[in-house]
Amino acid sequence: MKPYKACSCRDEFGKLLGKHCPDLTKRRHGKWYARYEAPKTADGKRRQPRIGPFDTEKECKAELGKVVGQAGKTGREYDRKITFGQYLEKRHAWRVSAAETGEGLKPSTLRTDREIIDLYLKPGLGHLKLVGQLGQDQIRDLYAAMRQLNRPAERQRPTEMLRRLAEARASLEGARYSNRPISEARIKRAHIVLNAALNDAVKVSKILDENPADGVFRSKGGAGHKGRAKPLLWTDERVEAWEKTGKIPAKVMVWTNEQYGAFLDFAEHDRLYPVWHFAGHWGMRRGELVGLDKQDVGLKRRELHVRDDVKTEDSDRLIKFEDATADIGRRWVTRQTEERLAWGEGWTDSGRFFTREDGTPLRPEAVSQHFARLVRRYNAIRQHHAKGWTVEMIVKRTRVTEYEVRMALAGPPLPPVRLHDLRHGSATMLLAAGVPMKVVSEILGHASESFTSDVYAVVATALAEDAATRIAAFVPRRNRA
Is residue 227 a part of any domain in this protein? no
User: Final residue of a domain: which of 174, 192, 222?
Assistant: 222
Do 216 and 245 fall into the same domain?
no
Do 18 and 95 fall into the same domain?
no
Do 284 and 405 fall into the same domain?
yes
CB 206: neighbour CB atoms within 10 A? 17
Is residue 189 a part of any domain in this protein? yes
Do 264 and 298 fall into the same domain?
yes
Measured between alpha carbons, how far is 460 from 453 in angstroms, rounded to an integer? 10
pTM beyond 0.75: no
How many domains is the chain partitioned into structurally?
3
Question: What's the one-letter identity of residue 450?
Answer: S
Question: What's the one-letter identity of residue 148?
Answer: Q
Measured between alpha carbons, how far is 371 from 368 in angstroms, rounded to an integer? 5
Is residue 479 a part of any domain in this protein? no
Give, in degrees to the nearest 5, the angle at Cα 409 between 406 and 413. 140
Do 48 and 91 fall into the same domain?
no
Is residue 329 a part of any domain in this protein? no
Q: Which domain holds residue 112?
A: 84-222
Per-residue pLDDT tens listing for the chain (481 residues): 678 888 888 887 778 888 889 888 887 898 888 887 766 666 777 777 777 788 888 888 877 777 665 554 444 444 567 899 999 999 998 888 887 777 667 787 888 899 899 999 999 999 998 887 888 888 988 988 888 887 776 556 678 888 888 888 776 654 445 566 788 888 888 999 999 999 988 888 888 888 998 877 754 444 334 456 678 889 889 999 999 999 999 888 889 888 999 999 999 999 999 999 999 998 898 888 998 999 999 999 999 988 754 444 446 788 899 899 999 999 999 999 999 999 999 999 999 999 999 999 999 889 999 999 999 999 999 999 999 999 999 999 998 999 999 999 999 999 999 999 998 888 878 877 777 888 888 888 776 676 677 666 555 455 445 555 555 555 554 554 4
Do 200 and 91 fall into the same domain?
yes
User: Final residue of a domain: which of 37, 53, 74?
Assistant: 74
Is residue 335 a part of any domain in this protein? no
* Long-range contacts (CB closer than 8 Å, 24 or more residues apart) made by 68-74: 68/1, 68/36, 70/206, 70/209, 71/36, 71/38, 71/39, 73/206, 74/206
Which residues are CB-contacts of 329 (< 8 A; sequence separation ≥ 6)?
274, 297, 299
Do 254 and 379 fall into the same domain?
yes
Question: What's the one-letter identity of residue 177?
Answer: Y
In sequence order, the β-bridge partners of residue 33 are 4
User: Is beta strand 253-254 parallel, antiparallel or unpaired with respect to 232-233?
Assistant: parallel
Q: List the beta strands (DSSP E) in 36-116.
A: 50-54
Do 131 and 157 fall into the same domain?
yes
Do 193 and 150 fall into the same domain?
yes
Do 172 and 246 fall into the same domain?
no
Is residue 355 a part of any domain in this protein? no
Do 55 and 130 fall into the same domain?
no
Query: What CATH number is associated with residue 434?
Result: 1.10.443
